[in-house]
Structure 1
């Protein structure tokens, strides 16, 4: 019986998720297993060894986003600038077009709608915990409920992913600076001036 190397298995799994993300970004959630396999350069049998279905691939993407956000937001808030910068760094995310496609598909697919809600709840809890740590350290306005603030910040982050879709000429770096200034003001830090357009 062949022994599975956990590191190699996880590396290949992430490569397959990357290929799936690229196809979902190009074709939407309706991208076929055949298309994903072609992108990854593997056979369907090889893909199914890692993911038994397209739903499992989507679940893997949700978990990948959550794992990366957890690693990103799990540290201590040591400075008044830390948390806004960490939040603003979530701006790019994994495939903004995939988010919008999933939101649209959730209107027709109850399973995707349920998974999106669970993912949102997980992200909200993660961000609320980071906000609460900042409040405990005296670096975040503690008159704002952490959970409600996390909900609003996630809505702002999701909305910010549409900026380049609405106006492709918008500079991504400038958009992040604006988002950082906005989040800093909401969290009641040093209230930096908004960057000039």
Structure 2
């Protein structure tokens, strides 16, 4: 499994949508990796991590199992790459954000995607990844590293240029953690209670998130 740890102030460098500066060989390899990760994501969601064998993933990716092993050492390595890719996507989605108000609007939009159980959210995949992380220390390191960097990014965006004292930082960290809990919980709730009134839930989330970060926005 590749080392997932990134320097504290370093964002992902291997953006799957950014081919600038890559050789043709590197571009082909990146496209192959993306092809495998997309196929594996669909397979893990449909069959579960253990039932989705490398043969199943290979068939979905339209390549041989041996070809997949050229890019990934194991299924754990694939799921680690999927999780790391979610960090890249998170940075892409927050690149244009200039204020805490914009961030809150973005959080609400993503929470509504969770409520709608959009495929891009992959709650089943996240549950599978968390379960596997509890059994594989290396995969746990990936999950924890990505989670930490997302929280750090949210903290930086919400704090802006303000210097926070210890108590203010603790309060903001708790708010960010609560947002992460909401994201994780909505995925599970979508599975446990698929008949939830999504529109009403979205309205209440707007109230909760707005109040939660009102102080951070200076309101």
Alignment TM-score, normalising by the size of structure 2: 0.70
Please show how residues 85-124 of structure 1 align to structure 2 within 5 Å.
85-91=105-111, 92=114, 94-124=121-151
| 1:44 partnered with 2:65 | yes
- Going from structure 1 to structure 2, the CA distance change for 1:35 and 1:178 (only over 3 Å counts) comes to farther
Count of matched residue pairs: 180
Name the structure 2 match of 1:26: 46
Query: Do 1:65 and 1:94's aligned partners in 2 also have CA atoms closer than 8 Å?
Result: no
Residue of structure 1 in register with 2:37 after alignment? 17
Give the C-alpha shift of residue 86 in structure 1. Answer: 1.2
Summarize the alignment of residues 137-156 of structure 1 with structure 2, pairs less than 5 Å apart.
145-156=171-182
Compared CA separation, residues 175 and 33, structure 1 to 2 (3 A): farther
CA–CA distance in 1 between the matches of 2:197 and 2:206?
Answer: 14
- Is the Cα contact below 8 Å between 2:155 and 2:172 reproduced in 1? yes
RMSD: 2.6
1:73–1:32 distance in 2 versus 1, CA, 3 Å: same
What CA deviation, in whole Å up to 9, does each residue of 1:20-53 have, x standing for no partner? 1111112222221111111111101221232232
Change (3 A) 1:8 1:106: closer
Bigger drift between 118-127 and 180-189 goes to 180-189
Ranges in structure 2 where 5+ consecutive residues have no aligned partner? 1-22, 115-119, 163-167
| Superposition TM-score, scaled by structure 1 size | 0.77
- Once residues 143 and 48 of structure 1 are traced to their aligned partners in structure 2, the CA distance between those partners, rounded to angstroms, is 44
Greater relative CO, 1 or 2 (CA 8 Å, sep 6+): 2
1:141-193 deviations in whole A, cap 9, x for unaligned?
A: x787433322221111111112321221236565444433321221117xxxx
User: Runs of 5+ in structure 1 lacking a partner?
Assistant: 137-141, 190-197
Residue 131 of structure 1 aligns with which residue?
158
**Are the aligned partners of 2:133 and 2:139 in contact in 1 as well (CA < 8 Å)?**
yes
